Structure 1
């Protein structure tokens, strides 16, 4: 078997550790310590994040979709395959090196998706972008960290607590969809989505097309405003686990 070769490393802003890009033949892996965050051979659930969301908004004219987390580009490529020519896609990626990897050693994996005229890359924190947006997006797709229970960066938790979900709700247009990828289930997060006023559906999708672990995708449709619940604590039902 071919050995893994490390191609590059990059620090995660905010003290989240170091990402390492590795290659073995045509296979790529992005690691955080001993945890594999993503692998170029497993893309099923990331693709479903885009296609399942599109089913919810496919009647929209000139849809605008925000993707939080570039990863290996699987969600972006799937979105481009279903969204119309007049769509706009904003991809927010916190780590500049990940964008460089997409245009450099992993260019074949991305297949030119970043050069599509529908795509704008925002290098920065997706949470900050959501916070300053109002009724801007038809869909927000979050594949950030390990899901609602962060693995790489504590500040990612702010995307998934009550304040973060209210910000996402405000950033969505009426009946827009918030889609969230997670390595595993989280009942507390499901409750928070419902409490905020989202209409929630939970999907379980295999990492690979026919094999691999089952990942979770929440599809939360923007509904009427809910009562304030800032005093309710965030549930912590499971420890963070590596993707794969």
Structure 2
């Protein structure tokens, strides 16, 4: 079996860590330290994050979507496939190297998604973008870190605590959806979503269609009588 080789390294802002793009044969993975953040072989759950969300937005032909985390483009590609021509998708990516890989060694995975006129790529913290946009989005999709606990960047945890969920709710339109990907279950996070005024569906889905460990998706819809941003 071929060994993994390191194709490139990028700094993770706000941490001393680096993000590494690794390749073996024609397969790729992105890692921080020994933690695998994503792989082109295990991407079914990332696609489902967008597919299931867009199915719930069929009555909004001009839906405006925010995706937190560019990754290998699977969530973005699935969102574009599920949205109409009047929709728009903003993608927030904190690590400049990841954006460079999307137009370099990983371009074949993106299939031109970044050139779609519906897409705006912003090299910024998704947390900051959410705070700037009251009532701006029909859905916010978060595939940041490995879920509600910031495994690679402690600041990412702010997206998932009560303050972060309150700001996400503030940035969503009535009936909007906060969709969250996680590598593992988290009962406390699910309870926190409900406490902050979301109706929550928890979905377990394999990382690949036929095999792989089960990942968790939360599709949390803003309830009209839920807690406000304050």
Asked if structure 2 preserves the Cα contact closer than 8 Å seen for 1:16 and 1:152, the reply is no
CA distance in 2, matches of 1:189, 1:15: 24
- Which position in structure 2 is the counterpart of 1:224? 224
Classify the secondary structure of the residue corresponding to 1:140: strand
Classify the secondary structure of the residue corresponding to 2:89: strand
Q: Per-residue CA shift, 1:79-112, capped at 9, x if unaligned?
A: 1111001110000000011000000011111111
Classify the secondary structure of the residue corresponding to 2:54: helix
CA distance in 2, matches of 1:70, 1:41: 17
- Which position in structure 2 is the counterpart of 1:39? 39
* 1:10-89 paired onto structure 2 within 5 Å: 10-15=10-15, 17-89=17-89
Q: Over aligned residue pairs, what C-alpha RMSD do you find?
A: 1.4
Structure 1 ranges of 4+ moved more than 2 A: 224-230
How far the C-alpha of 1:226 sits from its partner, in A, is: 3.8
Q: Does 1:173 align with 2:173?
A: yes
How far the C-alpha of 1:228 sits from its partner, in A, is: 8.0
- Which position in structure 1 is the counterpart of 2:144? 144
- Which position in structure 2 is the counterpart of 1:234? none
Q: Does 1:199 align with 2:199?
A: yes
Q: Which runs of 5+ in 1 are unaligned?
A: 231-244
Q: Does 1:160 align with 2:169?
A: no
- Which position in structure 2 is the counterpart of 1:119? 119
Q: Per-residue CA shift, 1:51-97, capped at 9, x if unaligned?
A: 11112211113110100000110000101111001110000000011
Asked if structure 2 preserves the Cα contact closer than 8 Å seen for 1:196 and 1:225, the reply is no
CA distance in 1, matches of 2:132, 2:86: 24
How far the C-alpha of 1:227 sits from its partner, in A, is: 4.9
CA distance in 2, matches of 1:123, 1:227: 31
Classify the secondary structure of the residue corresponding to 1:57: coil
How far the C-alpha of 1:132 sits from its partner, in A, is: 1.2
CA distance in 1, matches of 2:57, 2:112: 25
Asked if structure 1 preserves the Cα contact closer than 8 Å seen for 2:169 and 2:229, the reply is no
Asked if structure 1 preserves the Cα contact closer than 8 Å seen for 2:167 and 2:229, the reply is no
CA distance in 2, matches of 1:26, 1:225: 50
How far the C-alpha of 1:25 sits from its partner, in A, is: 1.4
Higher relative contact order (CA 8 A, sep 6+): 1
Q: Per-residue CA shift, 1:4-63, capped at 9, x if unaligned?
A: 111110110011611010111110011111111111111100000001111221111311
- Which position in structure 2 is the counterpart of 1:236? none
- Which position in structure 1 is the counterpart of 2:132? 132
Q: Does 1:3 align with 2:18?
A: no
TM-score normalised to structure 1 length: 0.91
How far the C-alpha of 1:158 sits from its partner, in A, is: 0.4
